[in-house]
Amino acid sequence: MAVDLSLSMDARKAAVTADGGAPAAAEAPVVFGVDSLNVSYGAHRAVRDVSLAIGEREVTALIGPSGCGKSTVLRSLNRMNDLVPGARVSGTVSYYGQDLYAPGVDAIEVRRRIGMVFQKPNPFPKSIYENVAYGLRVEGRRSRTELDDRVEEALTGAALWDEVKDKLRSSGFALSGGQQQRLCIARAIAVRPDVLLMDEPCSALDPVATARIEDLMAKLADEFTLVIVTHNMQQAARVSDRTAFFTADTDSEGERHGRLVEYDTTDRIFSSPADRRTEDYISGRFG
């Protein structure tokens, strides 16, 4: 029997504190409660004992050097790691109190509620309109009026409507890199998820396109919970409410595991971090 992921008002109002991390913002309902998360790929443990809580309608940035497990943690939030052969996840990842890895939870429904935008823009080989309408059609929506309204709503939400409204039948590949990324954001939000995960969404973009995406993130946070992975510390400081700093520790056998070092409000992380490793990374002394 499938587990119902619909959310009660009591669940939305519940606020918890992450073990080993700072509490979510005052009175902000907790979307994700991550407790003792471990992720392995085959014999290699990529992430070890990560615990944190992510608040509703906040922008949470995951930062740290390459290989520290940021993207692995991000992909655990909507079960994208299920698609990687040999991947194993232990610990708890709860979504409004529901364990996302519990028996009976539909991973496809998880990914509908928790959308994702990847590092490199990946529009489908379809028109701009059909890129955005794709997820709606998968849901079984066929009404042309409804599709038209939802496509316009999503493109407007992604700050792209005015640029493409007269060429909706053109290929998504005809857009610039920054426009393609916003098209992918429109495609993700068209199905009205609760959460948007973004894995280095600006790393392949020029500074002008990056600024557009950052402005868009601020607007999207009014409606969605955002979790982003970024190597750009200035970007994390500009756009996020809370920041989690990860690093890779080496155990006695020489294996490197991603670990959460510190998690707090972004202001505190960048102005007065509690851990010397965080300060060294932010100041550029390593990483």
CA–CA separation, 273 vs 262, rounded Å? 8
Tokens 């999503």 map to which residue?
Answer: 154
The b/e string for 67-105 (b: 16+ C-beta within 10 A; e otherwise) is ebbbbbbbbbbbbbbeeeeebebebebbbbebebbeeeb
Chain segment 103-146, per-residue pLDDT in tens: 999 999 999 999 999 999 999 999 999 999 999 999 998 899 99
Give first-to-last CA distance, the chain, whole Å: 46
Nearest to 28 by CA among 13, 17, 44, 47: 13
Which token pair is 16? Answer: 């918890």
In 3-state terms, what secondary structure has residue 131?
Answer: helix
Tell me the HSE value of 196 on the side-chain side, using a 13 A CA sphere.
Answer: 30
Per-residue pLDDT of the chain (287 residues; tens, 9 = 90+): 455 665 433 444 443 333 344 444 445 799 999 999 999 999 889 999 999 999 999 999 999 998 899 999 999 999 999 999 999 999 999 999 999 999 999 999 999 999 999 999 999 999 999 999 999 999 998 899 999 999 999 999 999 999 999 999 999 999 999 999 999 999 999 999 999 999 999 998 999 999 999 999 999 999 999 999 999 999 999 999 999 999 998 876 777 889 999 999 999 999 999 999 999 999 887 65
For residue 46, CA distances in Å to 39, 102, 133, 248, 258 come to 6, 21, 36, 9, 6
Which token pair is 7? Answer: 């959310």
